[in-house]
Amino acid sequence: MSKLNNQTKIIRKVLATDLDGTLIPLPDSAENQSALEEISKAYEHNGLILIYCTGRHFESVMDAMTQEKLPRPEWIICDVGTSIYHMHNGRYLPFEEFKTHLTEKTHASSQQAIHSILEGLPGLSRQQADHQQEFKLSYECESSRTDLLVEQINELLRDFKIPYEAHGSIDPFLNCGLIDLLPEGVSKAYALKWLARHVGYGADQVIYAGDSGNDFLALTSGCRAILVANAGKDLTEKVKSALKEKKKSYALYVSKKQATSGVLDGCKHFKWM
C-alpha cells in the first residue's frame, strides 16, 4: 500500500518537486550535493512522501535518478502532467486510472490526426520521437515565431474541436521555440491535484518546489510553495502576485539558495524537516 493512502487524522508530509534546476544539483555544487543527501535521509527515515513533477519523459527521469543518485519516489508525474507512474513492488508502473481519465477527457483523439492538421504550418517541425508521448505532442520552431504558432495551433484545434491546447516556451540553451500540445487544462498542477483527490491527501500536506514557468500553476495551487533562488525574477513576481491576490502569501517561501539547497532550505522553513 502506498504511503499516500493515509488514514484519517494522520498528517503526511508530501514533497512534490520539479527536477531540473530544482531537486537535481547544479553542476559542481558541493552545497547542492550535501543538500540532496540530507533530503534523501529525511525521506528514508522521517516518513516524508516524495513526488517528482517534471516535463521529462519517464525514461529520462529514470536516467536522472541513476546519474544524480536521486531518491526513488512513490510517484512520478512526467511529460508535463500527462502521465503518472507509481512504485509497486519495487517497480514503476503506469497509473492506469489516470491514463483512463485522460483517454476519456480527450475522447481518444488520434495523434496522427492532430499531426496531419498541423503539418501545413510553416516553420513548425516535430521534436524527436522520444519527446512524443501518448498525451503529449511536441514541436519546435524559431524562437521568434513561438507565440504566433501557439495562437495558430490553438485556433486550428478549436476549429476541429480537438480537446487539446498548445503551450509555448523558449529553450534558453538552443534559442529555439518549444511547443507542447496537451489535453485541455492538463498540467503538472492538474495531475498533482488529480492524484491528491484519488489517493487522499490535502493541500495542507503538500510542499511544491519549482523554478520555471511550467511550475507556476502548481506553485499557486494552494499548497505550500518553494521558489529556489535560480528561478527567474519574472516567475517569482508572478507567483508572489498570484498568491497575494488569493490572500495566501504566507504559503510561499522564496529561498536565497539555489536548486537542491533551496529545496532543503524551504523544507526547513516550513518545518517539513
Q: State the pLDDT at residue 52.
A: 98
What was the pLDDT predicted at 172?
67
Q: Report if residue 50 sits inside a domain.
A: yes
Residue 232 φ/ψ region, left for φ over 0, alpha for ψ in the -120 to 50 degree band, beta for the rest: beta
Same domain, 192 and 60: yes
Q: What is the predicted pLDDT for the residue at 168?
A: 87
For the chain, 273 residues long, give each residue's pLDDT as a single digit of tens: 344 444 334 457 899 999 999 999 999 999 999 999 999 999 988 778 899 999 999 999 999 999 999 999 999 999 999 999 999 999 999 999 999 999 999 987 888 889 899 988 999 999 988 788 889 999 999 999 999 999 999 999 999 999 999 998 877 677 888 899 999 999 999 999 999 998 888 878 899 999 988 899 999 998 999 999 999 888 999 999 999 999 999 999 999 999 999 999 999 999 988
Whether 216 maps to a domain, the answer reads yes
At residue 6, the pLDDT reads 41
From 155, 183, 211, the end of a domain falls on 183
| Domain match, 124 and 174 both | yes
Report the candidate in 188, 185, 168, 158 with the shortest Cα–Cα distance to residue 76.
188
Last residue of a domain, one of 134, 158, 183: 183
For 7, 9, 182, the CA distances from 164, given in Å and listed in that order, are 36, 39, 5
Note the pLDDT of residue 11.
55
Of 183, 200, 221, which residue constitutes the final position of a domain? 183
Question: 18 and 76: one domain?
Answer: yes
DSSP 181-193: EEETT-SHHHHHH
- The answer to whether residues 70 and 202 belong to one domain is yes
Say yes or no: 78 and 195 in one domain.
yes
Tell me, what's the pLDDT at 2? Answer: 40
What's the CATH number where 165 sits? Answer: 3.90.1070.10
- What is this structure's pTM? 0.88
Q: How many domains does the chain have?
A: 2
> What is the predicted pLDDT for the residue at 44?
86
Show the domain range for 78: 14-82+186-269
92 belongs to a structural domain: no
**In the sheet where 176-183 sits, what is the strand order?**
125-126, 137-142, 176-183, 164-171
Nearest to 73 by CA among 256, 216, 209: 209
